[in-house]
Structure 1
């Protein structure tokens, strides 16, 4: 009878085909003598990352693949992978080789020696760790994000932004229903969502430079971090997706008024023409920004999906505008001239309508 499975390594991937065989080889070297499995959770990478992992899995049963269709996001990929193993311990490591897999045995030994330990974290900011060849700007941004998470969420880590850690699988299963699954910082989500303080240990490692593929870091990733912070603090009061949808709606009002002012006052166009063009411009702006941010995990792609989505979004918002005006007019007549409250009620009804129906009919069909 073979030794029982002890450790699973979850590797969330998107366009990391060249790194898959290199990472498996490094895991095999680092974890010699340990019964382990590697679970690649791939967001349907167009470069064939899942196929590369499957090719190895045909020869090596320790390698498994979860190919997600129509779903995106590192945090949710990690959650699915961590809940898909029978191993009592599970580690999360990036698929770009920037995390040092050589410290996995030290993480494993720490978990073996202390049953009360919930999680071991690879940290760039304890003695002996480092950020490698990061430039000054990236170091400063990371430090700012770290201080923000420490102050807002009070998680007590030197490196709450780390994506490299090992945790007891039972702890993950317990906290999984409470996780937001937003953005790239799954560790932060786990630590903040637990109903009890998780006992942790931080081990140093030096962050490597990427050798293959392209970085996934962009301004949207930074925004998703702020969104995750908001969701953890206020998401139970106002859901984060609705908050984003509403904020973009406010920006859309500014776009509408700017276009109307330019056409009507600046160029002398008829008011009705300016109003129509301003409305279409605002709807178009809102559609594309919501597609990029609010519904990033369901993002529409390709000209057919985009055109279909834009048309359905405009139709939904047109009906929402009618509901807005109708409710406001009814309340205005009912309350005998309470114009401000009536207008705000109409706006709220229109926003909820637009959000609910666009979630279902624009971004919920693919």
Structure 2
């Protein structure tokens, strides 16, 4: 494994013993021409996710495996991975295999071409392979969030994103932050962009979210992010004199 990778791919997983090994191999294939590290962060899984990924490290030397001692949620797992990452560019994917790793390089290329003021390029899922109820709930939630926060994002629930590690570390952390990265990047004075990406059926395991659970969390999160936006004061640049 190269000591200084150019890209760190961070994947949070919880009870994904069926999806994780195939996903890790797909990531390695998608980025085969890049200098990468692959960081899976296990959020205290109850199944054999850690065991199957540990066995895979012999096959994929670029694979790193971190494990939370206590379940702490997807946002904390992403942050754990970003903190441990050694590359300046981060790519995140959901651990259930519904994000296609083959879309990742295009996000990285768009981020590199956009210049330093663009801190994040997010995926926007097309032809979503979710239930009708989940798609309706997502469409409503994204519409309300976009209107209230003005973050320009049509699909913040897409786990596939490429962003600059340093910019992420400048953001205030809270649970569920992964759904508000565009708004928070804009708050810090960065720009964001989006590209269409694919979406796949879940082949193994079960979703860890429910529409009702998302609704309750989203209401309090939205109020919190709106408060953060209202308390933001930027110097518009810093000069050393």
Question: Equivalents in 2 of 1:228, 1:52: separation in Å?
Answer: 34
Structure 1 equivalent of residue 164 of structure 2: 168
Question: Equivalents in 1 of 2:196, 2:167: separation in Å?
Answer: 23
C-alpha distance 58-29 of structure 1, shift in aligned 2 (>3 A): closer
Q: Following superposition of structure 1 onto structure 2, how do residues 302-321 of structure 1 map, counting pairs within 5 Å?
A: none
Q: Is the 8 A contact 1:44 1:68 kept in 2?
A: yes
Superposed CA deviations along residues 277-308 of structure 1, whole A, max 9, x for unmatched, are xxxxxxxxxxxxxxxxxxxxxxxxxxxxxxxx
Structure 1 equivalent of residue 225 of structure 2: 232
Q: CA deviation at 1:30?
A: 0.9
**1:131 aligns to 2:128 (yes or no):** yes
Q: Is the 8 A contact 1:191 1:198 kept in 2?
A: no
Q: Following superposition of structure 1 onto structure 2, how do residues 1-366 of structure 1 map, counting pairs within 5 Å?
A: 4-116=4-116, 117-124=118-125, 129-132=126-129, 134-175=130-171, 178-180=172-174, 182-183=175-176, 186-188=178-180, 190-194=181-185, 195-218=187-210, 219-234=212-227
Question: Equivalents in 1 of 2:168, 2:219: separation in Å?
Answer: 23
- SS state of the match for residue 209, structure 2? coil
Q: Is the 8 A contact 2:120 2:182 kept in 1?
A: no
Q: Is the 8 A contact 1:14 1:45 kept in 2?
A: yes
Gaps (5+ residues) in structure 1? 238-366
Q: CA deviation at 1:221?
A: 3.2
Q: CA deviation at 1:187?
A: 3.8
- 4+ residue runs over 6 A deviation: none
Q: Is the 8 A contact 1:130 1:205 kept in 2?
A: no
RMSD across aligned positions (CA): 2.2
C-alpha distance 211-174 of structure 1, shift in aligned 2 (>3 A): same
Superposed CA deviations along residues 179-235 of structure 1, whole A, max 9, x for unmatched, are 21x23x5041x2333443432221112321100111112232332222221222348
Question: Equivalents in 2 of 1:72, 1:4: separation in Å?
Answer: 28
- SS state of the match for residue 83, structure 1? helix
Tell me which protein shows more helix as a share of its residues: 1
Q: CA deviation at 1:86?
A: 1.2
C-alpha distance 138-42 of structure 1, shift in aligned 2 (>3 A): same
C-alpha distance 236-111 of structure 1, shift in aligned 2 (>3 A): closer
C-alpha distance 192-18 of structure 1, shift in aligned 2 (>3 A): same
- SS state of the match for residue 118, structure 1? strand
TM-score (norm 2): 0.86
Question: Equivalents in 1 of 2:91, 2:133: separation in Å?
Answer: 29
Q: Is the 8 A contact 2:153 2:182 kept in 1?
A: no
Q: CA deviation at 1:43?
A: 1.3
- SS state of the match for residue 157, structure 2? coil
C-alpha distance 59-140 of structure 1, shift in aligned 2 (>3 A): closer
Q: CA deviation at 1:81?
A: 0.8
Tell me which protein shows more strand as a share of its residues: 2
Rg larger in structure: 1
Question: Equivalents in 2 of 1:147, 1:236: separation in Å?
Answer: 18
C-alpha distance 193-113 of structure 1, shift in aligned 2 (>3 A): closer
TM-score (norm 1): 0.58
Structure 2 equivalent of residue 295 of structure 1: none
